[in-house]
Structures are given as structure tokens and as C-alpha cells.
Amino acid sequence: MKQTYIKIGLILFLPAAFAACKKGPDSNIQDRGNFTENGTALRDVADFPIGTAINYQPLTNEPKFAEIVKRDFDAVTFGYEMKHGAIVQSNGTYNFTNADAMVAAVGPMEVFGHTLLWHQNQNATYLKNYAGITVPAATELATNPGFESGLTGWSVFNSGNPAGTSTITATSVTSEVRTGTGAMKVVNPTGYPGSQWRVQVSSGTFNTTVGAQYRIAYWVRAASAGGSIRLSTGGAGSAQYQGDQTIGTTWQEVSWTITANGATTSFLFDLGQAANTYFIDDASVKEVVVPPSGGAVAAKLETALTDWINALVGRYKGKVKAWDVVNEPFADNPVAIRNNSNTTAATDVLVWSNYLGRDFALKAFNLAKAADPTADLYINDYNLESNAAKLDSLIAYVKELKAKGAKVDGIGTQMHITRSTSYAGIEVMMQKLAATGLKIRISELDVRALMGSAAGKMTDDLLAFQAAMYKYVIASYIKHIPAPQRAGITIWGINDANSWLYDNGKEFPLLYDNDYNKKPAYAGVLQGLKGN
């Protein structure tokens, strides 16, 4: 059933009631006026782009969604489909299928590119593996290392003098096994001082890289004190020998790192030195993986960033005429350029600035300019209307980037705000952004209104407060941002149910309800654009 929103203005007896008033730094008593809509498309009353955020699913599967996008707006930003995580695959290849389909679907509408460099919504697993931030687990090279298959894969080279004096067998006796169900048992009744090689058991041969290091490890104990064992190598290279290891009656790990000198290698247990009974379990041989240096990681990430920006910007050159090059570079409290300490870790997070340093944004802007010299390039962040230190830091950083030669054409202020966001904070932000002389965008506007209200639903008052906030934001933008600097306003979505904030009815932040009926918020935006 279609819903019609009509808000009857409250009768107020003071002339000042028609102006927005403050009752505190973070709260507004808003003009709950008549927010009805007359059928006018937003794009028809603005002399700058009025955009909306879209995503693949509603655009391609909900006809009403697509109809409203093309009827009421003249620009679109893809909420996810042009981000790193949407396009970059686990092997580093690119899949542009959804982005291409969306570009085709919106036809001649202006597309704003979002985003080239962000710490979230990335294939961070690929990036960390590629750059060496995540050190891959080394492959086990030993065959049957836990002796769960008896002595399969192991060979007896020597068994005493004469041969057969010692016995080498598999054991499944619980007291003789460290883990699992099997171990190797060596009974040497005769010691051969200085001749460990008299009793030898060899692993299978495995491939090695000359010059690479390999860690050989195993667990061993003896039936009585005073045991002795060592490792040695066989295979294509020359033999290497570990020093003798004294073995006691409790399980102990013995390890030895070698540098391979042949294309194939094996390792041998040498147990001829001292008469004893030995139990060996959980053998292992793995290549030593050396983490790359910080400089090596940065170099790999620069390569990944270069390839990514060239591929994305190059593909849509001419269709996408402006880009969010750097998104959310600053952490909030305290305000600082992001690093791994001030940014919450998640599977899709890689903080570029942590590895590329303060000039991470300079690199990104230079790459974007090279990929498309004609595109407008933006830096974008949130909470600028409520965090003065963040606003000032962002403006100063933009000045720093431009001094270093970066092509920064504009600043985006996201404005994911609430019905009670401070009007004063909005005013100050608009004035300071205007003073930069750069193009200014409201890049991701939505207004939370429910905010845990006891009513649990959008009442007439909440709808009116939300509409008033939308109106105020638009009016403040037009008032303070000079016309040549007005790069546009993007509402971050169409209808509540498709909003990133909806969460099964916990918020209703957009201009259309779940059934695609216009809310008072739509009239608020329209009135703000018209100046009435």
C-alpha cells in the first residue's frame, strides 16, 4: 500500500520559531515545517550534479530502483563495485563484470569513481600474500614424518657391525609414541664411539633449492640416560653433519638448519655412538621462509597499487570523469594518518599508509593523474562536520600534497550524519572547505533519524526532523560553497531497505521508504535546492 507523508506544521507563536535554533553544541531544535513534495526531480532544480549511490543487486533486479535513479538524479556512485575487493581476485587478476554491467545500465549518466585507495573493502588477503606481509606456511617436505604409516618412506642404511646388530622398526606402543599412533624405534645394543654412521636411517629424497635454508626437526627420547644422536644429509649435494646431541629419557626436540647445496636432499638419523634404545617421532623438514624487509613490502605494494589504478582508471577513462583517489586517510581519536595501530584490523583491511608512509596519497594521486590527466581527483573523509581537528588536518594534508605537486582537484565530505548533528558544525565545515578554493562535494549523504528511538519506528516528528536536516545541509552547501566550487551532492542510496544502515529496520536514513515512496526527506532536499 502506497504511503503518503504529510506533515502539518506546528503552530508556534514566536517569530523566531521559523528559524533553526540551538539548544546545545550537538543538538538542534529544527523547524518542523511542511515537508511535502510536488513531483519535481531533484536534478531539475540544481545547477550542479545531484547524485545517488547504487549497487549491482537493486539496480539490476529492482525495476523501481533503476527507474528512480534515472528519473531523479543525474550522477551515480557505485557503492561497492569499483572497489578493490569487488574487482581483484585471489590470484591478482581483475573481474570487471559487475562494474561494466552497471556502467552500461546507467547509460549517459555521469559516473563518479569510488574508490582507488582505501584501507577497507579490499582483497587484503591477496595484497598481504603478494607483498609478503603474510608469510606463507612452509610446505612439509618429509614423507610420513609422524611414522603413522610405519617406516614407509624411510630407509635403513646401516644397522651395526656386523649388519643386523641393531634393529630399526615401527612402534605403536603408547608409551613409545609422542603423538598420533606411530613412531620409529631403534635398538642399538652396541656403541661405536666416534662412528655414529654405524646405525643410520634415512628419509626420502626431497627437492631443494641450492642456497636456500631448510629446518630439519624431530622429537626423540632414549630408554636410559646418555643417548647420542646426530643428523647428516644425503642427496645430490655434498654431505653435511650436525654435531652429536646428548639424548635423555624425556621427549626433546632437536632441530638443525642447513643450507642446501644440491637439487635434491635427504636427511639421516645417525645413532651408532652410544648403545641405547631410541624413540623418534614427529620429524619435519621445511624451507625457512624469510619475511621481506619493510622496503621490499613497500615496493610490492607500490607495484600492486600502480597496476590497480592503471587498470581501473584506464578501463573507464572518458566515462568516469572524477575519482575518489584517497578515501578516509585519517583516524579519528587521536586524529592522525592511519596506521596498523589506530585502525581496526579485519579480513578486508590493509592500511596502505602503514607501509608506504606519509606520501602514500601522493603516490596514488600521481598514478591517477598519469592514468587519466583529464579526470578530477578527490580526497574523501567522514566526520568533518563533527571533528574539527580532523577537518583541519585533512585541509592541511591537502595543502601539503599540492605543495608536493599532487593534482588534488577537490575534497569530499561524506556526511553520514543524524537528525541531531550540530548545525554549527556543518556551517564551520562548509566555510573552511570553501576557503580551500578547491571543488567541494557532499559525497555520501544520509541522515539517521531513528537512533534507537523508543517508538521503534519513524514517527511524523522523526520524519520531519530528518527532512529538516537534509534541507539544512543542502542550504548550507549552497550558502557557503561558491558556485564554481560546487562539484555536486550525492545521496548515499535510494530507499531505506537498500541502505548500508538499514540493518533489518534499525535505521531509515534515505529519501524513499522500503516501497519506493518519497519521504519528507525528499521534500527537504528539494526545498534546500530551491532555497525555500
**Residue-by-residue pLDDT tens, the chain, 532 positions:** 333 333 323 222 222 332 333 333 334 544 556 777 778 999 999 999 999 999 999 999 999 999 999 999 999 999 999 999 999 999 999 999 999 999 999 999 999 999 999 999 999 999 999 999 998 889 999 999 999 999 999 999 999 999 999 999 999 999 999 999 999 999 999 999 999 999 999 999 999 999 999 999 999 999 999 999 999 999 999 999 999 999 999 999 999 999 999 999 999 999 999 999 999 999 999 999 888 999 999 999 999 999 999 999 999 999 999 999 999 999 999 999 999 999 999 999 999 999 999 999 999 999 999 999 999 999 999 999 999 999 999 999 999 999 999 999 999 999 999 999 999 999 999 999 999 999 999 999 999 999 988 888 999 999 999 999 999 999 999 999 999 999 999 999 999 999 999 999 999 999 999 999 999 999 999 999 999 8
Q: What is the pLDDT of residue 7?
A: 32
Which residue has 641450492 as its cell numbers?
210
Q: What is the pLDDT of residue 253?
A: 98
Which residue has 537534509 as its cell numbers?
470
According to DSSP, residue 392 is labeled: H
Axis crossing angle, helix 460-480 with helix 423-435, rounded to the nearest 10: 20
Q: What is the pLDDT of residue 18?
A: 29
Q: What is the pLDDT of residue 454?
A: 82
The helix/strand/coil state of 450 is coil
444 is catalytic: yes
13 burial type by CB count under 10 A (0-12 exposed, 13-18 middle, 19+ buried): exposed
What residues does each domain of the chain span? 1-49+415-532, 155-287
Does residue 368 contact residue 375 with C-beta atoms inside 8 Å? Answer: yes
Round to whole Å and give the CA distance between 294 and 78. Answer: 34
Q: What is the pLDDT of residue 24?
A: 34
Q: Which member of 37, 385, 444, 507 is catalytic?
A: 444
Q: What is the pLDDT of residue 26?
A: 38
Q: What is the pLDDT of residue 39?
A: 83
Does residue 251 contact residue 220 with C-beta atoms inside 8 Å? Answer: yes
Domain 1-49+415-532 of CATH type 3.50.50.60: no
Domain 155-287 of CATH type 3.30.2010.30: no
Round to whole Å and give the CA distance between 240 and 237. Answer: 9
Residues sharing a CB contact under 8 Å with residue 109, sequence separation 6 or more, in sequence order: 69, 70, 73, 74, 75, 76
Q: What is the pLDDT of residue 2?
A: 37
Q: What is the pLDDT of residue 136?
A: 85
Residues sharing a CB contact under 8 Å with residue 341, sequence separation 6 or more, in sequence order: none
What are the DSSP E strand ranges found in 2-161?
Answer: 21-24, 27-29, 50-54, 75-78, 110-117, 155-159
Cell matching residue 122:
579490499
Q: What is the pLDDT of residue 28?
A: 55
Round to whole Å and give the CA distance between 456 and 467. Answer: 18
